[in-house]
Amino acid sequence: MDPVLLSRWQFALTTLFHITFPTLTMGLAVYLVVVEILWLWRKEEIYFRMYRFWAKIFAIHFAVGVVSGIVLEFQFGTNFSRFSQSVANVFAPLMAYEAMTAFFLEAGFLGIMLFGWNRVSRKVHLASTCLVALGATFSAFWIMAANSWMQTPAGFHFQDGKFLVVDFWQAIFNPSFPSRLAHMLLASYQTSSFAVAGISAFFLLRGENVPFFRRSLSLALVMAAIFSPLQVFLGDHNGLIVARHQPAKLAAMEAHWDTNLSGGAGFVLFALPDEREERNRNPIVIPNGLSLVITRSLEGKVTGLKEFPRKDRPPVPMVFFSFRVMVAIGFFLLGLSWWCGMLLWRRRLWGSKRTLWLLVLAQPLGFLATYLGWITTEVGRQPWVVYGIVRTWEGVSPIAAGQVVWSLALLAVVCCAIGGSYMWYVLRTLKAGPDLKSPIPPLQRQAGMIPFVAGQSGEETLYRAV
Amino acid sequence: MDLVTIWAAIVALVMILYVVLDGIALGVGILFPTAKDEKEKDLLMGTIAPVWDANQTWLVFGGGAIFACFPVVYGVLSSALYIPLMTFLAGLIFRGVAFEFRANARSKEKWNRAFFGGSLLAVFSQGLTLGGILTGISVKGGHFAGGPLDWLNPFSVMVGVALVPGYCLLASCYLLLKTTGEVRERAIRQARLSAWAVMGFMAIVTVWTPIHYPIVLKHWFAPPRIYFVWTFPAFGLLSFLELLGSLRKEREVAPLLWATGIFLSGYLGLVTSLYPYAIPTSVTIWEAAAQRETLVFLLYGTCLVLPVVLGYLVYSYSLFRGKVTSDGYGH
């Protein structure tokens, strides 16, 4: 077996497993900030209940996100040590900055956020929530900077197989970074809005805690309706950047084989790309569509895959289909959020069972689109690990394939065990429903030292004691 | 001092912070089965629940700093120690999720086992990793050039075993500070027992390491080291005696400080013996270092950000100071 392929599988498995959790926590943190501000502003108890309930879901995701993220940081070294040593000067400081500016912030204030209700004033608690959300955003900032640098490297000088920094500003704010960061953040906000909406819709259909879930759903829908159109706009912008900096990737995403020398390039709605024969089987094409999207003119030239030698092309079908489905989900979510927003506006949403069911079914779509987006961008980067400069096979560690088989099996088992338990506990927490009885924390921080009460995930015991 | 030495010092500081802080949490995991019932287990977990994540973050920062500042060390060590690193990470995963899952579980037994097993696996793997580094790693042209099981030998297994009482010592000293009554009594007994075990293992390591590396012996008995290298075992011994004394007098904070002293003495002894090697005994810190601009870029950030981080971590810890109780207010 090939250690390169095995290491790539391992990285893909752990990355996709990991991204589930930050995708939810980054967005849910923003949701929690909004809820807590509403609570302090409107002083309605229901917002406090909402905070406590969704914070529990947040905590479970956060924990799994933290532990699965550590694996990723070490995998650069364990499985791609040649890559690591080659790019360390430019790439690695971004990782160190992530830990320094993001992880400590999250870790330092998460404790207060979950366990600190009676230890700090309400304002300090709100500040803690904001800082946790800020930490999550910083984390996305550095990771997207590092990953975007691999896609569109800048600010370096390549010498004797090593990257030397020339300008860190350029390396961080490389051409694809700003829009990819925004794309990921929006994906996270959108995904968590639809997650909250889907869960709330489910309980509304069952008639449980109706006022509570109506409020949760309304707030989530407002956020979804704002973020969804922005995402479509940004996705389009990202496409232009890919076309300019990674033309082979764009051609693979669109299964565009021949450069259109005369006339416009068509947009392939659906096809079965055949890599051997370099053509699409059964294509359904919108004439001039691709030229219009990429060049903003009906007959603009779009570089085709055949311009690149076979060894420089990414695997076409995987990139093509992942991209297609992701875009379809993006448009579907946009339509759904506006449709629901309109029903909400006209006060007809609560009566429309069919729409609520649609929201329940749409709940996992944001996650799916996020996975597919990452598959598109990472597989689309192949065969390069640093685009156009270092090939992926050149970056792997000098280790035996047997070791990677072993670790891949180990991590697969761990991911299944943790993933399964995570599902189980999230469902259980949801099933238990919101806690509507625990006393509201005092306006003023209590004087003196408060003993910490053990045996709580969230905070119930604390309240039982108080 | 040049930039590389400054970074070596920062990395050394971050690593010992990780070892002591997460050592406490991992040790609590190992002592977990000694708790009598679920209520006591809740208590034990409650002592670290608000802080374990921050403690573990020192590892992530240390890893990032080594990756950025000493890329050769990061690349070579992680390929060379592939297997113990992977089991270490697997252990950390089970330990980490146990906090959240156990609290939500109806039957806690499964996650009790995951918490204990994960902690033990992580600690033993950490020891294997350290032992593997001390055993020596074959490097050619700046890349790892050995086999997958080079790290496995009696010495590294011994280091793995030795870390278990080491972290139990830290954890029990922390627990006696954070708890009352029966749990505290037991923590004091555990602290005494593990202190003796730790001293025994430290003596063995002190004799065994020079056998692995004749160069260490040469380091010890040549100036300038000969003038101060003896202070580390002396400080270790002093900490040990003071620890036993403070345990006898049932002090609150002193045992944890002296236990940390024992760790510091061992750690400083190790670091001075190996300096200036980043990978003993083939790569020095200067050979392993990243380019100057990278070191400067990260140093700016560290000087600006790390004090702030330490500030709010101290604030966060101080909010959760005091005894942990299982039934609300202790007074």
- What pTM was estimated for this model as a whole? 0.89
Q: 3-state secondary structure string, chain A?
A: CCHHHHHHHHHHHHHHHHHHHHHHHHHHHHHHHHHHHHHHHHCCHHHHHHHHHHHHHHHHHHHHHHHHHHHHHHHHHHHCHHHHHHHHHHHHHHHHHHHHHHHHHHHHHHHHHHHCCCCCCHHHHHHHHHHHHHHHHHHHHHHHHHHHHHHCCCCEEEECCEEEECCHHHHHCCCCHHHHHHHHHHHHHHHHHHHHHHHHHHHHHHCCCHHHHHHHHHHHHHHHHHHHHHHHHHHHHHHHHHHHHCHHHHHHHCCCCCCCCCCCCCEEEEEEEECCCCEEEEEEEECCHHHHHHHCCCCCCCCCHHHCCHHHCCCHHHHHHHHHHHHHHHHHHHHHHHHHHHHHHCCCCCCCHHHHHHHHHHCCHHHHHHHHHHHHHHHHHCCEEECCCEEHHHHCCCCCHHHHHHHHHHHHHHHHHHHHHHHHHHHHHHHHCCCCCCCCCCCCCCCCCCCEECCCCCCHHHHHHC
In the block, tokens 């297609």 appear at A324
Which string of DSSP letters, residue by residue, matches B273-292?
HHTTEEETTTEEHHHH---H
Q: What is the pLDDT of residues A17-60, one digit of tens each?
A: 999 999 999 999 999 999 999 998 988 888 999 999 999 899 98
pLDDT tier at B281, thresholds 50, 70, 90: confident
Q: Average model confidence (pLDDT) for chain A?
A: 88
What ipTM, to 2 d.p.?
Answer: 0.86
Interchain contact, A454 vs B43, CB within 8 Å? yes
Using pLDDT thresholds of 50, 70 and 90, give the confidence band for residue A314.
very high
Of A423-432, A452-461, B65-74, the poorest mean pLDDT is in: A452-461
B318 Cα to chain A: minimum distance (Å):
10
Q: Which of A43-52, A320-329, B211-220 has the lowest mean pLDDT?
A: B211-220
Shortest Cα distance from B323 to chain A (angstroms)? 6
Are residues B320 and A115, on separate chains, in Cβ contact within 8 Å? yes
Residue B216 pLDDT > 80: no
For residue A258, pLDDT beyond 50 = yes
pLDDT, average across residues A149-172: 90
Res A287 pLDDT > 80: yes
More confident residue, A120 or B238: B238
Model confidence at B218, in pLDDT bands (50, 70, 90)?
confident
Residues of B whose CB is below 8 A from A66 = 53, 56, 96
What is the structure's pLDDT at A442? 66
CB contact under 8 A, B101 and A97: no
pLDDT computed for residue B320 by the predictor? 81
Tens of pLDDT, residue by residue over B68-94, are: 999 999 989 988 899 999 999 999 999
Distance from CA of B25 to the nearest CA of A (A): 15
Mean pLDDT along residues A315-332: 93
Q: For chain B, what is the mean pLDDT?
A: 87
pLDDT for B323 beyond 90: no
Of B29, B53, B42, B181, which Cα lies nearest the Cα of B117?
Answer: B29
- Which pLDDT does position B1 carry in this prediction? 67
What is the band of A446 on the pLDDT scale with cuts at 50, 70, 90?
low
Distance CA(A417)–CA(A428), nearest Å, equals 16
> Contact A410/B86, CB-based, under 8 Å?
yes
- Inspect the interface and report whether the beta carbons of B71 and A465 lie closer than 8 Å: no
Position B52 pLDDT exceeds 90: no
- pLDDT by residue (tens digit) across A78-129? 889 889 889 989 999 999 999 889 888 888 888 888 888 888 888 899 999 9
Domains contained in chain B, CATH given? 3-319 (1.20.1630.10)
- Which of B42, B57, B147 has the CB atom closest to A107's CB atom? B57
3-class state of residue B3 by DSSP: helix
pLDDT score for A459: 42
pLDDT digit string, tens, across residues B260-272: 999 999 899 888 8
Could you state, in order of their start, the residue ranges of all structural domains in chain A? Answer: 3-244+315-434
How do residues A134-148 score in pLDDT, each as one tens digit?
Answer: 999 999 999 999 999
Q: Do A453 and B305 touch (CB under 8 A)?
A: no
Structure confidence by residue, pLDDT tens digits, B144-178:
888 888 888 888 899 999 999 999 999 999 999 98
For tokens 């940390």, the residue is: B260
What is residue B288's predicted lDDT score, i.e. its pLDDT?
85
